[in-house]
Structures are given as C-alpha cells and as structure tokens.
Amino acid sequence: MVAAASAVVAIGAVTGAVSALGEGRPSGAAKPPPTAAPTLRPLPAVPTASRRTAAPSPSASAVTPSATASPRPTPSRTAAAPARLYSHPDSQVREWLDAHPGDARRDVIASRIADRPAAVWFADFTPSTVTARVRAVTSSAAAAGRVPVVVPYAVPQRDCGGASEGGAPDLAAYDAWIDAFAAGLGSGEVVVVLEPDSIAQSECLDEEQRSGRFASLARAGRVLKAADPRARVYFDAGHSDWNPADRQAGLLRRAGAASAASSDGIFTNVSNFNRTSEETGYARSVLAALGGPPGLGAVIDTSRNGNGAPADGEWCDPSGRRIGQAPTLATGVAGIDAYLWVKLPGESDGCKGSPGTFSPEYAYELAR
C-alpha cells in the first residue's frame, strides 16, 4: 500500500450488514458467492481503517479549523433535511446482538453503535442484481421516512491493488454498473458517498488511466443525480493527513466535483480517525480551492474519531480510539452537510478479527 492511502477492505459484506447472496460471507473476496437468483437484500462491503502517512505533508497536516483558507459562504442544506438518517436492519452488529442476549457488553454496544445509522456499501461487481439491492435499501428507507447513505465502491483498479482490490473489469463495465445502481435509487432523498479512495488514491494510475477514471466519476455523479434529483452525491477528498487541500481540489475538479450537475460536494475521513475539527478545517479549505457553485458542502465520517488519530499512525484496529459524533444531517456547522458513520464501529480492520467482520471486543472498546 502506498503512503497516505485510505484503504477500505471490501469482502462482500455490509458495513453493518450481513451478506446478501448466500448465507455465508466471502473471506477476502470483493465478489459474492454465486447465487441462483437475484436477492432483494443489499450486498455492500465492509471498509477498514484509513492508513495515514508515516510523515504527513506539512501543508496537508497544517490545515485546521483556524487555517487561513476561509469557507465560501454556503447556504445550509442540512437545516432543511426532512428526515433522519436510515439505519439498515441487516447488520452484523444486530446479528451479534441477537445471538448473544446474555453478553455483558450487549447493552452498551446496542445503544451506542447498533441503534445508530450507518452507510450501506456496494462493493461487488454484480450488474444483474445491483438495481434490486439498492432499491431494497432506498425503498425501505423511504417507507420509514428516513434518508439512507449508500456507497458505490466498484471503480476499476480500486485501492491500487491493495487489500481492497477489485471492482469492475474496465470503465465501460463500471459505467454500466453505475447506470444499474442509479436505477435503484428511487425518488427519495439519499446520500451517495461515491467511491472512497478513488480520487485521493489515484497516483498508481498513469495519466491516461487517471483521466479515464475521473471522466467516469464525473459521469457517475451526473447519472446518479439525473436518476434521482433528490440524491446528494459527494466525491472523495481523502482526509486531512493526505493530500494538501489545493492539490486535492485540483484532482476533485478534474473528476467533476465542482459541477452542480455531478456533485453536492466532498467527503472526508472515511474509515479514518482524524478529529472532526481537523476534518472541518480541511474540508473547508478544499471547498474554497475547488470553486464551483456556492451550495457545495462536505460530509465527514465521524464513526471512530472521538479520540483523534493515534500519534504513531497505527491504522489497524488501534487501541484507545472512541466513537465520534452521532450521525446527523443537521450539524449546525457552516459548509458541513452531515456527520456520517461510513465505517461501522466494531467491524475489524484485520487485527482484532478477520477484515470486515464484527468484533464485539473492539466495538465495546470504542463504545464504552
């Protein structure tokens, strides 16, 4: 894995959800096991922690809420959010709770993790079933009057061949998969966290490959927003210990993130541990450098950042971490549209359990 990468391990299970195809979970594979018929249950993936740089770039790590780059005046769209975030019931943590009614850790894990909404990941390349699986999530959320968070994660050459390698075989296949994904969105409000790592971690691609990926991402944003005008699509900005804000903004601009036809803004800190204050300052600096319409905002993954990142840069189930702010669409912070739990607390990075599997030990440590 290259330095500064924000890896997410895709093993064919949900961020907080059980496998949708078959009864078991694939181990270490991005694709699900074969199935005889499409299922209406979603098959997203489980991310792991973001790896941080051993020696962060001074210009990147220096971005804080008091950084010189000031936020652009932005109307708050979060204040008008008509519903709360959706909590998908098919989750590994809920499965564990059902199986362990007498466990002394159960009440803490239930109240502080399981009862809070988390994103639903789609990391397998299964074009024939993705529409139905996305629709299962969005229709259930709409029926409950809630807003789902969905994560398309199938771009070719994702994770630069690292632990989360996989995705569509080529960009043409990816474009078709996105079309199928968009067909499941429906007409309700939905937050789309589009392809974690796809922009911040694109240095492994040559210039032609990078341009092709960015064109497909821009197209994906347009397709998703055209399919559901109430969809809010956010693009990958990495995190505050990765690329400097101006460099990340340049990459985002090439990928369509400054276009209102494709984008509602950016996301940061997916599966990482940086404090919300650090990510807020960084996101504002990226947005200021990005340009684009004044309504662009940012969403921040706060799932495990309550104590900030480890000083030694450890990324794999590090001790001493804590859950962060609860997920919400009403942050009260200018330019920050939402705090989300994109990575579900308790799902292992690979040190306290197999990558992507639920670890009650880690969940309890984070929650208590």
312 is catalytic: no
Q: From CA 206, how far away is CA 203, in angstroms rounded?
A: 7
DSSP 328: B
301 is catalytic: no
- From the candidates 197, 236, 264, 317, give the one annotated as an active-site residue: 197
CA angle 114, 327, 257 (to 5 degrees): 130
- From the candidates 90, 124, 159, 337, give the one annotated as an active-site residue: 159
Q: From CA 356, how far away is CA 358, in angstroms rounded?
A: 7
Q: From CA 153, how far away is CA 227, in angstroms rounded?
A: 18
CA angle 144, 187, 82 (to 5 degrees): 50
Q: From CA 28, how far away is CA 10, in angstroms rounded?
A: 7
Torsion angles phi and psi, residue 111, rounded to 5: -75, -30
Q: Which two tokens stand for residue 236?
A: 């990958």
Contact predicate 9/23, CB 8 Å: no
- From the candidates 90, 241, 301, 349, give the one annotated as an active-site residue: 349
241 is catalytic: no
Active site residues: 159, 197, 349
